[in-house]
Amino acid sequence: MIRPALKVWHELAETLLKLTQQTDDATRDETIVNIEKCLDARDKLHSQITAPFTVEEEVLGKELIKLEDTIQKSLILFTKGIKKNIYDAKSKKNNMKNYVNPYSNLTKDGTFYDTKN
């Protein structure tokens, strides 16, 4: 007999895996909100999963451990994608500023060096 908390954990893990594999920029905000909801729900379930475990629960637990590793890797890739997009947006903003005002980054110390001595 497998506890309902473990079944729900398994369902949430599969949902998380599906959510982290979505790379559509248009629905990214909604995906992030759903990921946070799943992680919060799993946090609440954590206290309900305690030893002793039945044989069925141990088998499911081993499967969940493998699934959790996959989820961790997928979450890392998801956050790297977000960080890359943020970096690209900042870079594009700086390039646009330099295009509009190319002389904004020059130093204006007022010195002149005569090299014809």
Checking if the pLDDT of 17 tops 90, the result is: yes
User: Over the stretch 51-104, which tens digit does the pLDDT of each residue have?
Assistant: 888 999 999 999 999 999 999 999 999 999 999 999 999 999 988 888 888 777
Checking if the pLDDT of 39 tops 90, the result is: yes
Residue 43 CA to residue 105 CA, distance in Å, equals: 49
> What 8-state DSSP symbol labels residue 74?
H
Nearest residue to 23 (alpha-carbon basis) of 80, 78, 87: 78
Checking if the pLDDT of 111 tops 70, the result is: no
Q: Give pTM, 2 decimals.
A: 0.76
Confidence category of residue 117, pLDDT binned at 50, 70, 90:
low
> Which residues lie below 8 Å from residue 61, measured CB to CB, with a gap of 6+?
6, 53
Q: Tell me how crowded residue 3 is: count the other CB atoms within 10 A of its CB.
A: 17
As a whole number of Å, the end-to-end CA separation of the chain is 94
